[in-house]
Amino acid sequence: MIRTKLSYSIIQEYMDKADGNDYGDEVNYLTYHNKASKKDITLISFKRWKKIEAGELIIRDFLMMVSESGAKNGILILPVQLSSSAKSYASHNNKVTVYSRNQFNNLLKDEKNINKL
């Protein structure tokens, strides 16, 4: 999916130093876009959320993980809806792209017009 849908190549799996969160299961990869320099690292994180809605805190925590990993930016994929504050925070942040449930489903369906937050 990372390679075919997002057009990124995986460098390695990334383990978060503060992996004691209670958000749910997650997997993180350091990647680079296939049409960009290998030095422009992007952190891609897939999270399986225990709740119905994700709040602003998870976006803030992910942004901190992006910085700690040394990545230039990040892509966060959550199979749930975002709260209003999380949507606002994600849309006003140019370092993180968030795919919530509907955007993720469109990505899997290979829709041409994916609405990113």
pLDDT over 70, % of the chain:
85
On whether residue 44 sits in a domain, the answer given is yes
Higher pLDDT pick, 104 / 70? 70
Q: What is the pLDDT of residue 113?
A: 47
On whether residue 24 sits in a domain, the answer given is yes
Which range of residues forms the domain containing residue 66?
Answer: 8-108
| CA separation for the pair 99, 117 (Å, rounded) | 7
The domain that holds 63 is classified in CATH as: 3.40.1340.10
On whether residue 115 sits in a domain, the answer given is no
| CA separation for the pair 56, 59 (Å, rounded) | 5
Average pLDDT of every residue of the chain = 85
> Does residue 76 register a pLDDT over 90?
yes
| CA separation for the pair 71, 29 (Å, rounded) | 10
On whether residue 51 sits in a domain, the answer given is yes
Structural domain total, the chain: 1
- Contact between 25 and 45 (Cβ < 8 Å): no
